[in-house]
Chains A and B, each alone.
Chain A
């Protein structure tokens, strides 16, 4: 199965800062079939991006997805208070579907 490694595990930042989250796959993700989710405390995950950079409905413009092959990135241009959460990547190019371990973005 494809193992997704997210880094860093935790980021301590202030509102207004730029954030770059990494998701690295153990093998090439077929057709760049990679999604990003945001999960706030006590809530279900919410889809942010699919196909590496396809924006889901409702995803703010300050978020962007990029990457291909084995290396993918989620960027938040300027952190807003509502962006503090855990972010997961997920690949859907190869069975079984797998998720990364998550990156927690916390308030500094």
Chain B
């Protein structure tokens, strides 16, 4: 069955950096576009970033553009989110989510990981 397991969360000071990883199994990772979605504690969901199946196209939400970078290593079945210049408003759970297609960014999310908690605080 599809499994997505995030890691790399933690506490970081404002302005700091963190890299999240998402290890995928149970499907052919290299065939599918992948997303990051975040959720501030007690709040709603917010799309963060998308990367297509081969890593050759990505997009980021405006609030994180220029600070966050999504990437993937298909040889390791792993998705990444490099987060730089972190702010308090970036605090929350970060979920990796699988898209149903290979390269279309406008999709729903058919499987989700359990999330990694990122806390930005001094």
Interface residues of A (CB under 8 A from B): 33, 35, 37, 43-47, 50, 56, 88, 90, 92-102
CB pair A97–B106 under 8 Å, yes or no, is yes
User: Is the contact region of chain A dominated by helix, strand, or loop, or is it mixed?
Assistant: loop
Beyond the given A90-B109, A102-B44, could you list 11 further A-B residue pairs with CB under 8 A, ordered by the A residue number? A33-B108, A43-B114, A44-B112, A45-B95, A47-B108, A47-B111, A50-B110, A56-B110, A95-B105, A95-B106, A97-B35
With contacts A33-B106, A95-B106 taken as known, whether A46 is within 8 angstroms of B112 at the C-beta atoms is: yes
**B99 and chain A: residue at smallest CB distance:** A92
Listed residue (B105, B107, B109) with the most chain A CB atoms within 10 angstroms of its CB = B109
**In the complex, B113 has a CB within 8 A of chain A:** yes
Number of interface residues of B (CB under 8 A): 21
Q: Which residues of B contact A44 (CB under 8 A)?
A: 95, 112-115
Which secondary structure characterizes the binding site on chain B? loop
A88: chain B residues at CB < 8 Å are: 44-45
A33 to chain B: which residues have CB within 8 Å? 106, 108
Asked whether any CB of chain A lies closer than 8 Å to the CB of B89, the reply is no
Would you call B11 an interface residue if the criterion is a C-beta within 8 Å of the partner chain's C-beta atoms? no
Q: Is B73 part of the binding interface, using a Cβ–Cβ cutoff of 8 Å?
A: no
Within 8 A of A (CB), among B75-118: 95, 100, 105-115
| CB contact under 8 A between A99 and B105, given known A44-B114, A45-B112 | no
Q: Report the minimum CB–CB distance from A62 to chain B (whole Å).
A: 21
